[in-house]
Structure formats: structure tokens, C-alpha cells
Amino acid sequence: MTSAEQDTRYQRASNEVHNHNRDSRAATVLVVGAGPVGLTLACELAWRGVGVRIIDAQAEPSRHSKAIGVFPRTLELLENQGVSDEMVQRGVPLDGIMVHAEGRRIAKIDTKRINSHYNFILTLEQSETERILLNRLAQLGVTVERPVALTVLENGNAGVEVVLKDHDAQYERFAIAWVVGCDGAHSFVRKAINLPFDGERYPEAFNLADVVMSGEPTEAQHHILLFLTESGPLFMAPLAQKHQYRLITDEPVGSAAIKQDAPTLADIRQWWSERVDYPPARNVEILRAEWLSRFTTHRRMVPHLCDRRVLLAGDAAHIHSPAGAQGMNGGIQDAINLGWKLALVVQGRAGEALLNTYEEERLPITHQVLRATHLFTRMATLHRNALRLVRTVSWASF
């Protein structure tokens, strides 16, 4: 099925929304996890008149910026929820990506060529994306239940038995028609249905810093910048706050196996000095850090997205390198694809076979994303001189 045909089916379903009872306690779907993916799915279901409960084990939403890139297709799909305009207003639309190596710009990727009225990459802190989606969900009469953890899941052909534990250590056991795991890379839902999560961990650790700088590096106000050097890559993207930027660097191969604390401001300044060899950016100084984090990353995916009455979306089903900012976007697009189909099934307007198309459509895309992000990561983190030369020449063809 082509993407145009998928869009037509999605729009037809969107035009048939019914205002059913939206009491979350009369739910037929339990969404586990209230990050961007779970919130998007809960909004889609509630908007289509499906009774939904959404829980999260954390007492409150994260205040960290986390994922910051939002793609045109994601904004298009979120238009039905009426949140895209606010996201654009709160974020920074960027015109593309500039790649630098050996003191010069070797490639430019222009997003203005994208055939969309959102022909840009939007940087928007994940905490802000979640806030906007939470407000939309509240408008639909649904509140995230926090901190509530899923402790037991028993999958069946006709429904799912679950046990929830709240902040007072009170347990609630009940049966529900459907459960969707949007609960991240360490998904309890995925483990409860014994789905393998095949793949591997990258040998490098990575460092993330949201920093305030002394000024605006040339070209950085409207572009993502990627610097490729002998010391490794440095990724840079502007955030909404004035003079604030997201920086990401890698560590040597093998560092992922070594437990270390988050980097310091001095570390970040040193990496900036070593890895930014493009003259127009050299005179900018890092003043302070708003958030510092060290992380490891994997590339993994499940063989199936559906197991009887339990489904998976987002990081619960697939994780990969952060290269290309595909994670949150792919998860939100999972949720959109699943949301309208599950609504039709719940309301008896389509058979359960429709849910097979969720897996048929999303798993091939996941395979493609894993391959692309892996290739991008390996190219960006090359350290051998001969291979770096090949990379520089190949990227110069953009």
C-alpha cells in the first residue's frame, strides 16, 4: 500500500470521529507510558470516542529536553489534534543541516525542498512537546494517572488481565480489552508478553549538553551543524531559549562498557575546542550548561508489534542511534497509525484483522530507520584517516 493510500484511509477515519463517552474509567484501552508516544495514542483514541486510561510510573513528566527534533511528517499527522501550530510557535524551525570537516563546509542538506508546508526541521524540547500533548489530552477529558505502575499483565484472546500499583501501594486488578505498551526501551509490557528485543549496544558512549553560549555561531541560528574531526563528531542544534544549544559528542570505542558520571562543563568546553575547527564558529564561548548527560545507545527491534490483545509502539518496540532524530518521530507516527485502526476495531466498525496492517506498515519502516541511523552513526564516528577521507568525499556530493 502506498503512502498516499494510507493517508486516504487515515483521513477517511478522521472524518468519521464520533463523540462517545470519554470517561477514562469506562476504558477499553490501557496505554502504558505517558511520553510523547503514549500521549499521542491516548489523544487519538479519546478524540475518536474510545474510552482510554493512560498510566505512567513516574510521579511527574520529565523536565529535561531529551528528544528535540520534530519532522514535517510528524507535524502533518498531529494536525488533527490541533497541536502543530503551537509546537511550531514554541520551537525553532530550521532550514537544514550543514556538515563541516577539515575546517570547511562539505555538505548542506536543504529542508526547503521538502514538499510540505512544514518544510523545516523543528527543534522543540521533549518536555514542551509533552506539555502540549498533555493539555490536548485534558481537553479530551483524560488525565494521566501518576505514579501508577503496571505490575501484572496476563494476555488473552478476548482481553487482558492487569494489576496496577499506585503511589499509596494500593493494587487494582481488572480486565481490559486492549493494552498498548508505550513504556520505553525497558518496557514491562514487552517483557510480559515475552517478545525478544534483538540487536546490540553501540560500543561508544555519548555525551549530551544543553548549553548557553556567548553569541550566535554563524549559520547556527537556522541550521543543525555537524562537525567531523579526528577527535570525533560534534552535533549542534539551536533551542528555543536565546543563545541555548544542544551539543552531542561521542567517546572512544569501548567506552559504553565503562560506567562514568555525566560530563562536566569543562569537558564540554574541551570538546568544543577540539572538535569545532570551522573558523566562523571558533569565537563563540560556552558560558554555562543547563543539562549534562552521558548515555549509551542500542539498535534493537521486536519481531512483532501485536500479540493478541497487546500491542507495542515507540521505544518499547524499536530503539536505535539518536542520529537523525528518528526515535520520537517514529514513535509518534506509530501511535497515529495504530490509533485510528484500534479505534475502528474497538467500536466494531472494523475487524481485528485491520490491526495486522499496523505491523505490516510500521515494521518495514523500522527496519529502514535502523539501517539508516546505523550507517549515519558509523560514518559520523569514523576515526581512521583513510575511512574519514572516504566519508568527507562522499558527503561532499550532497
Q: Say how far apart CA 137 and CA 121 lie, in whole Å.
A: 25
Position 218 scores a pLDDT of: 64
Of the candidates 70, 29, 9, which has an alpha carbon nearest to the alpha carbon of residue 361?
9
On the question of pLDDT at 16 being above 70, the answer is: no
Q: Which amino acid is at 330?
A: G
Per-residue pLDDT for 396 more than 70?
Answer: no
pLDDT at 392: 46
Instruction: Provide the 3-class DSSP secondary structure of residue 232.
Output: strand
Matching residue, cell 514535517:
72
pLDDT digits (tens, 9 = 90+) for 269-278: 999 998 988 7
> Does 3-64+125-199+299-376 carry CATH code 3.50.50.60?
yes
* 8 Å CB contact between 190 and 254: no
pLDDT tens column, 252-303: 888 989 989 999 999 999 999 989 887 777 778 899 999 999 998 888 999 9
Q: 184: how many CB neighbours lie within 10 A of its CB?
A: 20
**Which one, of 351, 396, 337, 268, lies nearest residue 44 by Cα?**
337
Q: For position 116, what pLDDT does the model report? A: 93
pLDDT above 70 covers what percent of the chain?
87
Kind of pairing between the strands at 69-70 and 224-229: unpaired
Helical ranges in the chain per DSSP H? 3-14, 36-47, 72-77, 84-90, 126-139, 188-192, 265-275, 326-346, 356-380, 385-395
The residue ranges of every structural domain in the chain are: 3-64+125-199+299-376
From CA 300, how far away is CA 190, in angstroms rounded? 13
pLDDT digits (tens, 9 = 90+) for 47-93: 999 999 999 999 999 888 889 999 999 999 999 999 999 999 999 99
CA–CA separation, 183 and 392 (whole Å): 39
CA distance 156 to 331: 25
Question: Strand, coil or helix: what is 291?
Answer: strand
**Structure confidence at residue 24 (pLDDT):** 42
CB 276 within 8 A of CB 102: no
Q: 166, 168, 163, 161: which is closest to 150 by C-alpha?
A: 163
The C-alpha atoms of residue 113 and residue 95 are separated, in whole angstroms, by 10
Contacts of 314 (CB under 8 A, 6+ apart): 33, 35, 36, 37, 38, 182, 184, 327, 328, 330, 331, 332, 334, 335
| The predicted structure's pLDDT at residue 22 | 39
Cβ(286)–Cβ(269) below 8 Å:
yes
Question: In percent, how much of the chain has pLDDT > 90?
Answer: 61
